[in-house]
Amino acid sequence: MEQGRKGPAIGIDLGTAYTRVALFDGRSFQMIPDDHGNPAMPSYVAFTDSGVLVGAAAKNQAMQNPTNTIFDVIRLIGRRYSHPSIRNDIRLWPFKVIASQNDSVLVEISWEGKLWQFTPVEICPMILTQIKMNTEKNLGVTIADAVITVPVCFNYEQRKAIKEAGMIAGFNVMQLVSASSASALFYSSDSQSKISSLLTNIFARSISKSEVEDYNLFIFDLGAGTLDVSLITLQKDVCIVRATAGNVHLGGSDFDNNMVVTK
C-alpha cells in the first residue's frame, strides 16, 4: 500500500495499562503490533534525558525513572483534583499530581532542568500518536479515522476529554464505544453462525442456526485497572445493549495494590 493514501478506520482499545489497536477488513479482524512487535502497547509515557518515550520503551525504564514516568492516565483524564478517587490514587503513584487553580489535574515533572506541568489531555495524545505512527508504518497508509473504547462508567467530562485527546493526536474520532460493548460487536456480524458455534463449544454438542434465536450474552471485561460488564442481546442482524456497569478501580493492578501493605 502506498504511504499517504487514506487508510481504513481503526479501533483503539485505550486501556489503563495497555493499549491495543485493530482493524476490520470486512471479513476478519487484524491486530496491529506496537513498534516492538507486541500485540499490546503499554500505556506509559516517560520523560528522559534522551527525549520522550512512549509504550514499551517508557515502561522498561520506569524503575530507574519513576517520578518522570506517567501511567494510569485513564484514571486521571476528565477528573477534578478534589475527586476522592484521585486523592486515593495519589499515594500509589510515584509521579507528582497537583491541582491547578480551577481544580483540574496536573502532572508535574522535573525534566531538562525545568519544572513541567501537563494535563492528562496532553499526556493521552502522546500514547495515541504513537499508536497512529505504529499503525501507519504497519499498513503503509495514512490513518485518520478511529473508534476509541472507554470504560462504561465514564461520565460526559471523561468521554469529552478522551475525544479531545484523540483529536489532538490527529484522529477523526468517529465514535466512543464502551469497552465491554465493543467486545460483543465481534458476535453481531453473522451472529447466528457465531452464536451456534459458541454454544456448540459450551455444551459440547452440535447446534444448528435454526436452533438459535435471540441470545443474551454477558460480557465480563476484567482489565489491568478497570472492570466493565455489559448485558447484550444478539439477534439475527442486531446487537442490543441491555445494561452496562463498571468500576475503574477494580482491575489487576488494584488486586496487586491491595495485597501490598502500605503505611
More confident residue, 243 or 130: 130
Report the sign of the C-alpha dihedral through residues 221, 54, 73, 151, in that order.
negative
More confident residue, 225 or 3: 225
| Environment class of 187 (CB within 10 Å of its CB; exposed 0-12, middle 13-18, buried 19+) | buried
Please report how many Cα atoms fall inside a 13 Å half-sphere around the Cα of residue 262, on the Cβ side: 11
The length of the chain is: 263
- Rounded distance, CA 71 to CA 45, Å? 7
Q: Check residue 1 and give its pLDDT.
A: 42
Report the sign of the C-alpha dihedral through residues 44, 92, 74, 13, in that order.
positive
Identify the residue whose cell numbers are 458476535: 187
Sheet containing strand 45-48, edge to edge, reads: 51-54, 45-48, 69-70
Interval 188-217 mean pLDDT: 56
Residue 215: all three cell numbers together: 441470545
Confidence of residue 17 (pLDDT cuts 50, 70, 90): very high
Among 12-21, 102-111, 199-208, 214-223, the least confident range: 199-208
Element (H, E) at 21: strand 18-24
Angle between helices 156-168 and 120-139 (to 10 degrees): 50
Identify the residue whose cell numbers are 497537583: 98
Q: Check residue 5 and give its pLDDT.
A: 59
Interval 154-168 mean pLDDT: 96
The DSSP letter of residue 85 is: H
- Cα 189 to Cα 37, 104, 175, 197: the distances in Å are 29, 41, 19, 13
| Environment class of 106 (CB within 10 Å of its CB; exposed 0-12, middle 13-18, buried 19+) | middle
State what percent of residues in the chain have pLDDT above 70. 81
Interval 182-193 mean pLDDT: 57
Q: Provide the mean pLDDT of the chain.
A: 84
